Amino acid sequence: MTVICNATPLINFAVINRLDILETAFCQIVIPQAVYHETTVAGFPGSEFVLQAIASRWLQVRSVSIIAPNILLKLDNGEREAIALALLTGEERILLDEREARQVAQSLGLQVIGTLGVLLLAKNREIITQVQPLLDAMMDNAQYWVSRTLYEQVLRQAREFID
């Protein structure tokens, strides 16, 4: 199963050294050039894991030469290129976290899943045994922001929330 990925989900899993979750869940992930640049810049924590994944070939980088005008300019380069790449390749699934980018992708008929959705998918497929330690690590180490309400909702879905 192939999926297009934007930077934030890739960063969240790379920073905690758990790109294996993405590899196991999707087998093949494709990122546009802008996401490659965003995730491999000097000093980015976890960039070495992104480079290793590319060297292993389950994470591939593709150039995007055409971006349709209906992909909003106020999205960042990685988001625009990821959505454009999904449309150009015919891949219907895309990993995106940012609300506006998710809305644009959905309006164009793409199936969107974010970091939290990947964690739940991984637990449901028994790729991981618990969501909470990974989510906590992402929040602590990758500065991934999740509201308290959403945090609790995800843990309830994962059957890990204790009142």
Residue 163 located in a structural domain: no
What mean pLDDT is predicted for residues 28-45?
A: 89
User: CATH number of the domain that 132 lies in?
Assistant: 3.40.50.1010
pLDDT given at position 109:
95
Residue 124 located in a structural domain: yes
Average pLDDT, the chain: 94
Q: How many domains does the chain have?
A: 1
What mean pLDDT is predicted for residues 47-64?
A: 96
Residue 90 located in a structural domain: yes
Band of pLDDT at residue 123, cut at 50, 70 and 90: very high
Residue 162 located in a structural domain: no
pLDDT given at position 41:
81
Residue 49, pLDDT > 90, answer yes
If you ran DSSP here, which 8-state letter would residue 35 be given? H
Q: What is the pLDDT of residues 62-115, one digit of tens each?
A: 999 888 887 877 899 999 999 999 999 999 999 999 999 999 999 999 999 999
Residue 42, pLDDT > 70, answer no
How remote is the C-alpha of 161 from its chain's centroid?
Answer: 24
Residue 83 located in a structural domain: yes
Residue 43, pLDDT > 90, answer no
Taking the whole predicted model, whether its pTM rises above 0.75 is answered as: yes
| Domain span including residue 91 | 2-157
Cite the DSSP H helix spans in the chain.
7-15, 19-26, 33-39, 47-56, 77-89, 99-107, 115-124, 132-141, 148-157
Residue 42 located in a structural domain: yes
What mean pLDDT is predicted for residues 114-129?
A: 98
Which amino acid is located at 48 in the chain? E
Residue 51, pLDDT > 70, answer yes
Residue 151 located in a structural domain: yes
